[in-house]
Amino acid sequence: MAERKNYSVFDPEPQPHTAVTLRPQELGDSGRIYVAIDLETTGLDMERDQIIEIGAVRFQDGQVLARFSTLVNPQRAVPLRITQITGIRTADVSEAPLLAKVLPELLAFVGSEVAAIIAHSATFDLGFLRTAGVDFHRPAYDTLELAQMLLPGQASYSLGELCQHFAIPLVDAHRALHDAEATSALFHHLWQQAAALPTAVHDLLLAAAQDESGWAYRQFFADTRGRGKGLLPRRQNAFTGWRAPDGVLPEESAPAAGRAVGEGGGPVQAIPEDELLGYLRSGGPLASLLGGHFELRSGQVAMAAQVLHAFNTGDYLLIEAGTGTGKSLAYLLPAALFALANHCRVLIATNTIALQDQLVNKDIPQVQALLAARPPGSPPIAAEERERQIDGQSERQADEEVVLQAAVLKGRQNYLCTRRLHEWRTSHALSALELSVLAKVLVWLAVIGEGDAGDLVLNTPAERAVWARICSDAATCSQERCGSPSAVRRRGSVDAQANGAGLLGVRDFYWEARRQADSAHLIVVNHALLLADLIAGERVLPPYRNLIVDETHHLEEAATDQMTYRVEWPAVQLLLRRISPEGDLLNQVRRMAEGTAHALVLESLPLIAKQSVRTAKQFNSFMDQLTAFARSQTPGRGEGGYTQRLALDGSVRSQPEWSRIEVEWSSVRGGLQHLVKSIEQLVQQLQTARWWESEPSATLLAELADLHTNSAELAHQLDDILLAPGGQRRTRVAWMEGADNAAAVTLAIAPLAVNELLERELLLRRRCAIFTGATLRTGSSFRYIRDRLGLWDVKIATVDSPFDYKRSTLLFLPSDAPLPNQPHYQQMVEQAIVEAAVAAAGRTLVLFTSYQQLRATADAIRPQLDRQGISLFQHGQSSRLRLLREYRQAEQAVLLGTRSFWEGIDLPGEELTCLLIARLPFAVPNDPLVAARSAEFEDPFHEYTVPDAVLRLRQGFGRLIRRAADRGVVVLLDSRAWRKDYGSAFLEALPECTVRRAPLQNLGREVRGWLNRPK
């Protein structure tokens, strides 16, 4: 019989994590008793899966009072994957008690004096118990939700990661009792975090959380109010000032907001190449800074010299810098020297957050440290610039050293406006979801208080919709209204109580970031913001004439995304709801107009409300019709919730069902246009009434004007998507998308090409533009990427990787591998992964092009790897960050990834020694954009499809060798690379490796032999 553990009595021996807990009187705890609960189950489906283990801990003031633990017989086999995670086998639970017997004991253990139930991801655990008929009839606190409120900026909110953050021992993760004990300790730490917050945070939340709101955490914040002994330390975000490692930069070198940097339109002060190279040569500042880690990189020096020449001469440069070149420093250092000397700004655009963080947290501080050191005998930085500005300054000011200023700027929607926050939270009774968002925002303000909202966790569309109501908004957040220091002084605090704690003075963080950027020599943005500025007529970013684009191979996709108009049904519903009888916008107008001489305004409001209700009903019916049509076109596709796209091309538009959709849209459009006209008339009436003269009517007027603009744009774009008027078929591509389980489809329309726009608006308007990346060529040619991006009039250069791939990398090509469309291909992939992983002792990454193949492969190879003691991590089961962390921590592991793992991950040295590529990464041929763009070529496969896949393959290949001392094996399992005539394009594009062509049965021996060679 399986052993059954049931500790339901007081256990006087404290667990390891309670041994370091402070005494209750030291914490000022509430003294309440809580019960933490955790379950293990056969799966994630509450209706079909069963509980196999229950653990519970009763605790008070951080001390464990009693424990409860039992296995549960699910009356079915425990799935292998669950056994691998928990260690619980079918034999362990086969003779355990049934759930019906266990649940009364659990209810008795909880008892009547418990204040709340605690669980991590409580929706899961309590949801399973509710399905079984258990309701504890008391509040439930979810430590996952609390951590997301109280710990902004955490990389992960999993139980294991949070335990690691607080140094809470988690002896046996994924066993119910141990997880429950860890959850109780985590709750205690979160209680302390909340107690240390300013009381203004608690007061604002308690005032907003009326008893009828149903918000579970009202009592929690009431209990923790005033119980702390001091405030939590405030953190500083990178964009407020760059911080180098201790001892690297003198304190006075930390940049601060200063006078605005110009566009650099005057005479150019060229930087001598010798001055640049003095920083990089042996014995120079870089060697001193890096100490024993310094190695002279000839490629880095060559690239830096070419970038400097482009800055000095005002040239355009497209330069590929292979892995290991050190390209970030190679473009940052000349950019910094040039910007300082000419008192101008250089814009740097990256695509990925990882590279942006690297620039912010590592590379730019390193450049600042280099400039502070300066090569022996070099002149002071920007000496001539200071001489030009001596007029009108004191002698002391003229002698001050010019310090490199840097800033990060993100899209406006990333920044909070406290004026909008105040207006939103005081305009209506907040729901439970809105209160949770308010808690996250207020804690974020108290703990961080600067920068963008990247540290906030907004998981759901509903939470993000709340954020859209309080973030900085181009329509209503002008610099005069809420962005200038004078506005702050003039308007004062919007909430005296909150402002006393430094929480809610009138602040728009976007304008604060803009002021930082105006004073910066280097501005770091992402591709999306760079292109949004282009589309907005360069009204988003500070003016700039010098540009660096890194990760250039993503620029076409980013430009397409920025120029794609999407009609998402929840957004349409939100727009119509705002001007409905239940919405807040018309009600605010009514309240403001009552008792005034604005009779015309009051008379127009009922008509608008009536029109909005009618239009919403029409849209509902129309979207149902569109969704039914989309499902009829793709039967059986999109299973599992994955999005499918249906091109609205000639074959679709010629169907009789589509004609009925066009007729229905004509009816909906008529109602929408009448509504747009009514809103326009209301805006004109308010302008005539001079609502723009004072607040809050000016903000209300701006919101109505913006709503009118958005409604008119919606009508116009839907015409283009659904009716495809003349010319649109040739320049834009329309489609609908959605999954089988989606409530409504999304409509979208995108440009067919972006190259001419990029050349005209991005390239030719710059004095100097540098485009770089590690994978820009297809073979030896830049032709493909130049055509895609409009970079016809640029100089090209290549800096080869310093890595010796011939010595470091074995490329294994299984000579007997079937083609992907032949029988036994999938079995070959599975066999190859197992043999390579065993030979490499784990340390293996496998790249796929589809989730479907990845999941099938994972299910097939998991038992074999488990028998070899090798852990398996698969993309889709957790966040990429968490998967990478767990992979690194495992002794032997295999990681399966799809598209996002083909680039942007860094697993150097022994972390990764074997890379398998399941298929050549061709784009999906029936994707509407891919199909339409392919049709523009005479030979679409060779001119478009193959070059695109070659670039993707090079990116995936680059995951293996990350440092000069690395070694490893790449296994290419797609035999099209050597059996098809186009395959040579792929193999020739890879670095010159040692190649083995041999039967698959030799794979294990080849991997072991290569990895075990003496270095």
* Pair of tokens at residue 606: 């009922």
CA angle (57, 99, 878) in 5-degree steps = 65
CA dist list (Å): 634 to 628, 648, 758: 10, 13, 35
In this structure, the dihedral spanned by the alpha carbons of residues 863, 867, 869 and 873, taken in order and rounded to 10 degrees, is -10
Helices (H), 225-297: 273-280, 285-290
* Pair of tokens at residue 526: 């992402």
Alpha carbons within 13 angstroms on the beta-carbon side of residue 201 total 32
* Pair of tokens at residue 693: 């003269």
- Between CA 473 and CA 415 the distance in angstroms is 9
Cβ-based neighbours of 868, under 8 Å, separated by 6 or more: 834, 837, 838, 892
- Between CA 9 and CA 971 the distance in angstroms is 57
- Is 332 within 8 Å of 339 (Cβ atoms)? no
* Pair of tokens at residue 792: 């016809």
- Between CA 629 and CA 611 the distance in angstroms is 27
- What single DSSP character describes residue 1001? G
Strand-by-strand arrangement of the 140-142 sheet: 63-71, 51-60, 33-41, 116-119, 140-142
Count CB neighbours of 444 within 10 A: 22
3-state secondary structure of 97: coil
Judge residue 478's burial from the number of C-beta atoms within 10 Å of its C-beta, 0-12 exposed, 13-18 middle, 19 or more buried. middle
**Which is nearest to 5 in space by CA: 68, 75, 98?**
68
* Pair of tokens at residue 160: 């294991």
Cβ-based neighbours of 230, under 8 Å, separated by 6 or more: 196
| Most distant CA atoms of the chain, gap in Å | 92
Size of the chain in residues:
1015
**Region class of 640: left (phi > 0), else alpha (psi between -120 and 50), else beta:** left
- Is 470 within 8 Å of 417 (Cβ atoms)? yes
**Region class of 75: left (phi > 0), else alpha (psi between -120 and 50), else beta:** left
3-state secondary structure of 782: coil
Question: Where are the strands (E) in 234-338, listed by range?
Answer: 316-321
Cβ-based neighbours of 964, under 8 Å, separated by 6 or more: 295, 324, 802, 803, 804
β-pair type (746-751, 768-773): unpaired
Radius of gyration over every alpha carbon of the chain, rounded to an integer in angstroms: 31
**Which is nearest to 232 in space by CA: 194, 205, 200?**
194
- Between CA 196 and CA 1001 the distance in angstroms is 62
- Between CA 211 and CA 219 the distance in angstroms is 10
Residue 682 CA, distance from chain mean position: 39
* Pair of tokens at residue 350: 């990256």
* Pair of tokens at residue 794: 């640029």
H or E element at residue 386: helix 383-388
- Between CA 593 and CA 601 the distance in angstroms is 7
- Between CA 435 and CA 437 the distance in angstroms is 5
Amino acid at 196: A
Q: Judge whether 174 counts as a catalytic residue.
A: yes
> Among the options 120, 174, 553, 554, which is catalytic?
174
- Give catalytic residues, as residue numbers: 174
